[in-house]
């Protein structure tokens, strides 16, 4: 595992960000957290992560819109995006938006960790 790999987690629920942080930092990944699409966009403008864990339903819009934006931009289309949702989202919508995977909430942390390792290692 490359200790320099960075993950941007985007979720408006603080406990979800805490869970992702607690799951992934012991594995050696660096974490940045955003609570909204606007905050995520600002972070992406500063520095590009190696992976994005993206909630779909956010207070300032739909996370899949951000996934689509990333796929259209040559500078960001290479970044894998994993969609996460507690709502009634159809996983096919996430894949159509360019996400590499979809995980429903509550998260099965073991499966998510396996997928992150598969993508980043």
110 in any annotated domain? yes
Would you say 7 and 40 are in contact if contact means Cβ atoms under 8 Å apart?
no
pTM score, whole prediction: 0.95
CA dist 96 to 34, 65, 67, 93, Å? 23, 11, 10, 5
88 in any annotated domain? yes
CA dist 112 to 26, 47, 104, Å? 14, 24, 10
Per residue in 64-120, pLDDT (tens digit) is: 999 999 999 999 999 999 999 987 678 999 999 999 999 999 999 999 999 999 999
Strand partners, 54: 10, 83
Predicted local confidence at residue 87, as pLDDT: 74
Residue 25 sits in a domain whose CATH number is 3.40.50.2300
Containing structural domain, residue 56: 6-120
Domain count, the chain: 1
1 in any annotated domain? no
Return d(Cα 13, Cα 5) in angstroms, integer: 23
The answer on pLDDT for 2 being more than 70 is no
């Amino acid at each position: 595992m490359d200790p320099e790999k960075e993950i941007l987690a985007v979720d408006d629920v603080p406990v979800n960000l805490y869970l992702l942080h607690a799951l992934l930092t012991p594995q050696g990944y660096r974490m940045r957290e955003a609570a909204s699409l606007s905050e995520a966009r600002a972070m992406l403008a500063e520095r590009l992560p190696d992976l994005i864990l993206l909630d779909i339903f956010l207070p300032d819009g739909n996370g899949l819109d951000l996934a689509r934006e990333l796929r259209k931009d040559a500078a960001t289309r290479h970044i894998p995006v994993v969609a996460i949702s507690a709502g009634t989202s159809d996983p096919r919508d996430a894949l159509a938006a360019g996400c590499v995977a979809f995980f429903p909430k509550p998260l099965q942390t073991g499966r998510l960790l396996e997928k992150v390792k598969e993508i980043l290692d």
